[in-house]
Structure 1
């Protein structure tokens, strides 16, 4: 019997923070971590030979332990590019969750109807299109259109990942997708620019003109230039990202989602404390009503209907 393949983590990239604090903010009952991942373990679920990075192993047991520690009831697990279109680790986690997780898969255009239905039965409710060039190779847009047409009858949605500078080129394509569309991480705005400037206004315009488009107000640790910092003895996490998230939460309260992004792949300079990330939530959703929509009503409506 051959030995399992050994995967060496990409040099310089950090492991997830082991030992997160317990949040001061008490999550509402039924709260959903609507953007997180599982990686491997590589000895059981090998990473894709076409991957652009190799993460640390981050198995389902660690994710579910974090869920309980932070106070979430459910997870939405998103297939990451390091596993390609091999969704076995994702499906394994969904089946082990006892109904407390849903998934977003990555699928190829030649996937069979039987395979799509098997993913649906396992708890998959969407597929992800990644346009971040440093993470994936270029895929012709007509391939994505074919996939969108295949998954639409299942009632799945499409998660789209791009960076702000690419939105002008992607605007018409995203607007024409035939399903609910969820944009990752607010379209990765440059938070050094004004929240009411032309770049972020274009993203807001996209959501205003197309009621099927949602946004995840996630990943302040990726977008922030200041990071977490202390002010008057209190922690104010990622304060430069707050105006962007709050604008979307208050403008589109029924079409926003939030998640930890655990285990935070590809970070090189600072690994966030997930407890501190939870304490960021009231800064962008300052009322109980907005928190209920962001954390409970919206994700349950999209994933557990």
Structure 2
């Protein structure tokens, strides 16, 4: 582990907010354990181990039912830890992978069977080396055939340059962490409004209203981030997701308490209807559509 890396909270609070039945933590990670799943040689940071068993403990402690596990850059394109967590979840987890452009169709089918439902394209320069957009477009065309979607991670200053590329993507596009707005600016600032317009003009774009601990300049309880999240939840109630980002990779400022993060939910989704969409209906529709279809046909208890 890097000397300045902060491990995850050892004893998060029990949240006061009670999540609706079936709630999904739609953005979290597993790291290692390194002895079994080594970190990538090209990684930009070395985290603490955060294995699947700890993730399940946190899920149950917070009162959630399911997880969407996102491949983080410290594991590179080796998705072994992710796939292991998915297979052992008994269908209660889905995955977002990072893949090699030359991956075989057979490997993609194996990942699909394990529960992968998306790929992640990372444009944050401090975390990954640059990948030509042509390669991402090739990957997008391949995974679209499987019914997967695309998760993109970028920072607000890069959005204007990325918009033409993003509009070419042939599937649902989920933007991590609201496109990382600068919360020192008012939500009316052109940078955030550019993101809002992207969501307004493109019905295939979704976003995660997650990671106030990364975006804040004030620290807990992250009141400076809430107005941005609330705007997106209220404007796009059917295209928003929420997640803990556990174990908060590469945090430098403080150790987030996941119980506190859960207690922000009723501040950004102020009605039970919005909360249900954010935590249950939207992630189920995106990651477990087969269960939605079976339920509608009366095939599930």
Give TM-score, length-normalised by structure 1: 0.94
Find 2:243's aligned residue among 256, 259, 265: 259
Aligned runs of 1:63-78 on 2, under 5 Å? 63-78=55-70
1:214 aligns with 2:198: no
Find 1:117's aligned residue among 109, 117, 122: 109
Shift of the alpha carbon at 1:172?
Answer: 1.0
Runs of 4+ in 1 over 6 A off after TM superposition: none
Q: Which residue pairs with 2:296 in the alignment?
A: none
Q: Which residue pairs with 2:125 in the alignment?
A: 133
1:181 aligns with 2:173: yes
Aligned runs of 1:49-88 on 2, under 5 Å? 49-88=41-80
Give CA-to-partner distance per residue, 1:77-131, whole Å, 9 cap, x none. 0000000110000000001111100000000110000000000000000000000
- Mapped to 2, the partners of 1:176 and 1:206 lie a distance apart of 13
Q: Which residue pairs with 2:226 in the alignment?
A: 242
Secondary structure of the structure 2 residue equivalent to 1:150: helix
Secondary structure of the structure 2 residue equivalent to 1:282: helix
Flag structure 1 segments of 5+ consecutive residues without an equivalent.
Answer: 1-8, 229-236
Q: Which residue pairs with 2:35 in the alignment?
A: 43
Shift of the alpha carbon at 1:176?
Answer: 1.5
Find 1:196's aligned residue among 188, 196, 206: 188
1:277 aligns with 2:231: no
Shift of the alpha carbon at 1:268?
Answer: 1.0
Find 2:149's aligned residue among 151, 157, 173: 157
Shift of the alpha carbon at 1:10?
Answer: 1.5
Equivalent residues, number? 289
- Mapped to 2, the partners of 1:288 and 1:196 lie a distance apart of 27
Shift of the alpha carbon at 1:304?
Answer: 0.3
Q: Which residue pairs with 1:146 in the alignment?
A: 138
**Range 36-45 or range 172-181, more displaced:** 172-181
**Range 170-179 or range 243-252, more displaced:** 170-179
Secondary structure of the structure 2 residue equivalent to 1:176: coil
- Residues 23 and 278 in structure 1, CA contact (< 8 A), matched pair in contact too: yes
Give TM-score, length-normalised by structure 2: 0.95
1:223 aligns with 2:215: yes
Q: Which residue pairs with 2:280 in the alignment?
A: 296
Shift of the alpha carbon at 1:269?
Answer: 1.5
CA RMSD, Structure 1 to Structure 2 (Å): 0.5
Q: Which residue pairs with 2:9 in the alignment?
A: 17
- Residues 175 and 206 in structure 1, CA contact (< 8 A), matched pair in contact too: no
- Residues 181 and 212 in structure 1, CA contact (< 8 A), matched pair in contact too: yes
- Mapped to 1, the partners of 2:256 and 2:38 lie a distance apart of 26
Secondary structure of the structure 2 residue equivalent to 1:215: strand
Flag structure 2 segments of 5+ consecutive residues without an equivalent.
Answer: 290-301
- Mapped to 2, the partners of 1:53 and 1:127 lie a distance apart of 21
- Mapped to 2, the partners of 1:59 and 1:303 lie a distance apart of 22
Give CA-to-partner distance per residue, 1:111-165, whole Å, 9 cap, x none. 0000000000000000000000000001100000010011000000000000000
Shift of the alpha carbon at 1:196?
Answer: 1.4
Q: Which residue pairs with 1:287 in the alignment?
A: 271
